[in-house]
Chain A
Amino acid sequence: MNAPLKLELGRRYRFSASHRLHTAHLTEEENYRVFGKCNNPYGHGHNYVVEVSVSGKVDPATGMIANLADLDAFVQHHVLEDFDHKSLNEDVPAFRDKVPTTENVCIEIFQRLKKFPLATLERVRVEETGKNSFEYAGENPEGNRP
């Protein structure tokens, strides 16, 4: 039987990176029309915030779903080391052929973090700036909670 309550642990991380929104599938003119100033050939940057939510059984001995030190180390190793102070287009192989919109950044981070072995990844929410954010919960229909 399922427990009556579901607990999730949420943690926020930060990285700063540059990107350029541009696709080889469109002409120069179309790229500029679609992506506007985000298509500037030299790129631009953001201070991103990544909010990671994991769920699992709360261990009665520790009171924890997962030890924060383990989650922090996993995110550091699998995401922040590859993304922080990098060019997403040039330095992250996933974005060689995929536009590094924050939608795609969100999905890429989710794919990397779903391998976290000590809890279940529920959702990744990425703030590109303080004014916009993006969420991805994989195929989980319950994932996009308020």
Chain B
Amino acid sequence: MVLITRKIEFSASHLYHNPSFSAEENRRIFGKCNNPHGHGHNYTLEVSVAGEPDPVTGMVLDLKELKEILEREVMQRMDHRHLNYEVPELSRQIPTCENIARVIWQLLDPKITHGKLHRVRLYESPDLFADCYRNGAVAAGKS
């Protein structure tokens, strides 16, 4: 099995707020991420697809195709957007790194037609990221 990874960057704003919590609870749990006017990040997304190289093309998945999928599914939806208000998939959940990574997985998984989506890694900053895997998937190189 070979793993191919494509990286993109997008910039977006968000805030953490749960309407079922009191104002005080929201501040305590979410800290400065609860600022009502929101704040933003430069997100870095790494998408890894696993598969066997096609015997004719030598490719697991044409990177041009992966680039187009990422442009259509992620960039157009999320780049320079407010994740709470402009991305319907996130409007009913807190747009944490974990939830954004899961939404991106759900958007990409049905679109990957060659190979299998193996990992979505979303960096909110260089020191904070979330990884999404298929549950029970074995580590790359072990199957």
Q: Interface of A with B (CB < 8 Å)?
A: 2-13, 53, 58, 60-65, 67-69, 141-146
B97 touches A60 (CB 8 A): no
A146 touches B127 (CB 8 A): no
Q: Describe A's contact surface by its main secondary structure.
A: loop
B114–chain A nearest beta-carbon distance, Å: 19
Question: Can you sample 22 A-B contacts with CB below 8 Å?
Answer: A3-B135, A5-B134, A6-B134, A6-B136, A9-B98, A11-B127, A11-B128, A58-B98, A60-B93, A61-B18, A61-B20, A62-B29, A62-B96, A63-B93, A67-B29, A141-B138, A142-B137, A145-B131, A145-B140, A146-B3, A146-B140, A146-B141
B134 touches A4 (CB 8 A): yes
Q: Which residues from chain B contact A60 at a C-beta distance below 8 Å?
A: 93
| In the complex with contacts A60-B93, A64-B98, A146-B3, A7-B139 CB distance below 8 A | no
Q: Count residues of B near A (Cβ-Cβ below 8 Å).
A: 39
* Per-residue interface assignment for chain B, residues 91 to 129, with 1 indicating a CB less than 8 Å from any chain A CB and 0 otherwise: 001111111011001000000000000110100001111
Q: How far is the CA of A2 from the CA of B105 in the complex (A)?
A: 17
Closest to A7 in B: B98
Q: How far is the CA of A58 from the CA of B103 in the complex (A)?
A: 13
Q: Is B66 an interface residue (CB 8 A)?
A: no
4 shortest interchain CB distances as A-B pairs: A63-B94, A63-B96, A12-B127, A8-B131
A2 touches B136 (CB 8 A): yes
Q: How far is the CA of A142 from the CA of B31 in the complex (A)?
A: 34
Q: Which residues from chain A contact B133 at a C-beta distance below 8 Å?
A: 5-6, 8, 145
B128 touches A146 (CB 8 A): no
B99 touches A9 (CB 8 A): no
